[in-house]
Amino acid sequence: MKLAKIGLAALALVGGSVVPLAVGATPAEAASCGGRLVDSIAVKKGSRTYGTLKLYYSSSTGKNCARLDRVVNYGTKKGMILSLYACGKGWSVSRCHRDFYKVGQDSGQFGQYAGPVSVPGKGRCIQVQAGVQARDNSWANYNSPVFHCG
């Protein structure tokens, strides 16, 4: 069932429209990522920023971690989705979410953020997909290339 939800979320993001799933983190889990901030990416629709994707890496644990912060309509519970993929060993191509080693995902109706989600990072590349829904039900989506290989 969990893999079916992950597959649906990935397909929804690739297709350009997102269907939030009823999967969420507890407040304690969603507080923060450990490690060093390695990237901060605006999740936009046109010129409007809907959210900020933050990526972290912990050299002590060897984990990548992601958190998606809502920017548009902060505090209003609307759909958010965050998927972080650890690619199989040796991946360096444009997409790994179809053949990944491990995935971390959080989605649902959130007013502030989705995540954090984490995956193993040593010797692996990652790929991220994120979506943020605004009050008018429009979505901003971000699909990264395979990057941050470690």
Q: What is the pLDDT of residues 27-59, one digit of tens each?
A: 434 458 989 999 999 999 999 999 999 999 999
Residue 78 covered by a domain: yes
**In the prediction, which pLDDT does 94 show?**
56
Residue 123 covered by a domain: yes
Cα angle: 109, vertex 28, 147; to 5 degrees? 70
Residue 149 covered by a domain: no
What CATH number should be reported for the domain holding residue 12?
2.60.40
**Mean predicted confidence (pLDDT) in 133-139:** 95
Tokens (6 digits) for 140: 């901003």
Q: How many domains does the chain have?
A: 1
Q: What is the dihedral of CA 108, 110, 112, 113, to 10 degrees?
A: -10
**In the prediction, which pLDDT does 48 show?**
96
Residue 58 covered by a domain: yes
pLDDT digits (tens, 9 = 90+) for 67-121: 999 999 999 999 999 999 988 765 555 567 666 778 899 999 999 999 999 999 8
